[in-house]
Structure 1
Amino acid sequence: MSKQTNDRKIEHINIITNDETVDRKKFYFDDVLLKHRAMPEIDLEDVDTSCTVLGKELSFPLLISSMTGGDHELVKTINKNLATAAEACKVAMGVGSQRVMFENPDAAESFAIRQYAPTTLLFANLGAVQLNYGFTETECQAAVDHLEADALFLHLNPLQEAVQPEGDCN
């Protein structure tokens, strides 16, 4: 991975943790309104939030989605902790874009999380735009194999690519 790409991954984390313009006092679930039902028609013991996705049993239909990756101890720790949490809570997890591990093999270690989430529904991840820049089925399969993933995300983020200086816009 280029130094610029790796630095950008760390910059994303620093913005969330240190940028004064990020509102850390807001609870975004405050914007979610649930219909109050004082007298539900079922017993709490009968509520079952579990589901099966791609043959994996989840406790709840929740996905810890694509966060980060790269050649830095901080992102390795973040991915390890997210994988551990996904395993403990029996929810699915997707890693950040694995493109970085093709640019810098040292970054691959940040995606080596299966040991922390042996039964978790795990998604590998590449940007769909990378298919326009030479990625083939080989890289897609390598991303899945490295992660020992159950499936592959091909993410789309044209706005982010358009506004970042080194973005892939085609």
Structure 2
Amino acid sequence: MDSTSDDMPTVELTLGPLARDLSFVSRALSAHLRGHTARVFEDHHVPSGGIALISLIGLNPGVSQKDLAGAVALKKSALTKLVNALESTGFIERRKGEGDRRYNAVRLTAAGQKLHDEVMTEITAIQEELLAPLSREERDTYFALTWRLIAHLAAQPS
């Protein structure tokens, strides 16, 4: 009989300083979150990161690609690739700025708005499930601290 890693008992490892290492903990959390949300991306044929982008565009019609890149912490080239993919599927449209031809204003199409409305219902339900172990106050504290840390890191040279 072949033995695979799936057959092995789970052993709780000692993490030592990794238990408080921001990169390690963030990576572990991201991996678990991706597992819970992957179905939504697959069901709606949206590339990873596309739902966040659609949400931001829906909340900020006419937002520039530059501002989107800053909000989702992506390089402009990575954001352009994602915007191209969403545009080719008909979820978003770009328009050149009147005064500055380099400025791309991004908006949801009717299909993009429909997708946004459908997906946000699913994402909200998933978020409630994921955050279930935390009280409302703990959730507020978690997000306040996380955004404070993000603002601090954003202000630092990388």
TM exceeds 0.5? no
Looking at CA atoms only, which structure, 1 or 2, has the larger radius of gyration?
Answer: 2
Q: What TM-score, normalized to structure 2?
A: 0.24
TM-score by length of 1: 0.23
Greater share of strand residues, 1 or 2? 1
